[in-house]
Amino acid sequence: MTYDQAAYCRIMLISGHAEEYDHIIENLLETQNPLSDVVLELSFCTRDRIKTLSVLNDYLSAASESDIDYNGSVFHMTLGFLNRLYAAGTLSIDALTEHMHRIAQASEHWLEDPWATMNNMWDYHLEARCGEFITLPDFTVKIERFLTFGECFDIYSMARPPKEPLLKRLFRRLKHRM
């Protein structure tokens, strides 16, 4: 098990996606020969999630921050998982954005892109439903591009300019009140 896989497993467990963690461990048990110590230890504590997190945290504590590529391979594994959920049609966009928010928070890198975009997806979706900064069809295109290519975006930088300048609107409203 690589440090990136361990970080991904930790994120999946913390964010409530234990079935994805179980799938990874089963895959590692079938493909890894000989089994690494951490995979062997994880295979013994499949039902105890707290013990599992403890084993993963111990394993990850041996790695330096530069050994784990959070913005590269861990993020792409996460996108692959979310893409599978979305493509299967098991999640609505609302549920998908909620999952993205939980996963980004679990990564502990939610303030830096690409995790920041993932963290803000739920808020972006609420804004798209209101239509102030982005329309829902435009948001759907953006989220699909994010899931497919990992393209980060910020809806506030894409806001449509007002039809008339702010001061002009204020003066017009004040004039009508008088």
pLDDT per position as a tens digit, 73-112: 999 999 999 999 999 988 888 999 999 999 999 998 988 8
In a domain, 168, yes or no: no
How many of the other CB atoms lie within 10 Å of CB of 77?
19
Give the model's pLDDT for residue 161. Answer: 58
Read off the pLDDT band of 178 (50, 70, 90): low
27 with 58, same domain: the answer is: yes
62 with 91, same domain: the answer is: no
Give the model's pLDDT for residue 19. Answer: 93
In a domain, 178, yes or no: no
Give the model's pLDDT for residue 171. Answer: 79
In a domain, 41, yes or no: yes
Please report, for residues 66, 79, 133, 142, 153, the alpha-carbon distance to residue 139 in angstroms, rounded to integers and kept in the order given.
33, 17, 10, 5, 10
In a domain, 109, yes or no: yes
91 with 154, same domain: the answer is: yes
96 with 150, same domain: the answer is: yes
Q: Does residue 27 have a pLDDT over 60? A: yes
Give the model's pLDDT for residue 57. Answer: 93
Burial of 129 (0-12, 13-18, 19+ CB in 10 A): middle
93 with 151, same domain: the answer is: yes
- Number of compact structural domains in the chain: 2
d(Cα 10, Cα 33) in Å, to the nearest integer? 22
Q: Residue 115 sits in which domain range? A: 87-158
Read off the pLDDT band of 167 (50, 70, 90): confident
150 with 97, same domain: the answer is: yes
In a domain, 130, yes or no: yes
95 with 60, same domain: the answer is: no
In a domain, 166, yes or no: no
d(Cα 60, Cα 114) in Å, to the nearest integer? 21
In a domain, 79, yes or no: no
Peptide bond into 114 cis (omega under 30): yes
DSSP structure class, residue 159: P
148-167 burial, b at 16+ Cβ within 10 Å, e below that, comes to eebeebebeeeeeeeeeeee
52 with 91, same domain: the answer is: no
- Helix then strand count (H, E) for the chain reads 9, 0
Q: What is the mean pLDDT of residues 118-129?
A: 90
149 with 93, same domain: the answer is: yes
Q: Does residue 159 have a pLDDT over 70? A: no
In a domain, 169, yes or no: no
